[in-house]
Amino acid sequence: IIFNVYIKKIFMTLEKTPLCNFGEKAQDFNLKNIDENNYDLKSLMGEKGTLIMFICNHCPYVKAIAKEISETSEILKNYNINSISIMSNDTKNYPEDSFENMKTFAKKNKFNFPYLIDETQNVAKEFGAVCTPDFFGYNSDLELQYRGRLRALKNLTPVQGSENELLKAMIAISDTGKGPQEQNPSMGCNIKWK
């Protein structure tokens, strides 16, 4: 059993997000941001929609799209959609995901949105987050409308000619309050539970 636990820690487990549970309400939270201040959902939500993403510093799937996450978030501001990122991994066993390293990772990838730490992991559990990255796209009423990927990846590289599915979905949510019926799941490393 000890050997199995050890093996689990060494190797990441690839997870896929479940299908979008349309209309599910966003859970409130109060978490510390990398600017050392605490924020709740109401203070960060967007007028036309809110994108909440569960990410971390060490996951290769997040690293592969981190800069594009920033670019997407910047574009979404023009559609009155705010983006929020949350890091819920166990930092004791995964020190690369520490709060100080979150600051470094955010700066390196030009994050233009809050990067919050979920030390108790309660927020990830309440949202039902399973992997990094895990995207939750909400409309202006904080009803879930998107639970898909940013774009297609192959060998941790964006597929040439593929579209930014996250951007397209969030723009639709801003315009109509509804996300696309067909969504491709996001894939990434499992959340590192304590």
Q: Does 8 have pLDDT greater than 60?
A: no
pLDDT digits (tens, 9 = 90+) for 151-194: 999 999 999 999 999 999 999 999 999 999 999 999 999 999 99
DSSP calls for the chain: -HHHHHHHHHS--EEEPPPP-TTPBPPP-EEEETTS-EEEHHHH--SSEEEEEE--SS-HHHHHHHHHHHHHHHHHHTTTEEEEEEE-S-TTT-GGGSHHHHHHHHHHTT--S-EEE-TTSHHHHHHT--EESEEEEEETT-BEEE---SS-EETTEEPTT---HHHHHHHHHHHHS---S--PPPEEEEP---
| pLDDT for residue 122 is more than 70 | yes
* The pLDDT value given to residue 55: 98
What does the pLDDT look like over 92-101, one tens digit per residue? 999 999 999 9
Please tell me the predicted confidence (pLDDT) of residue 83: 98
- State the pTM of this model: 0.93
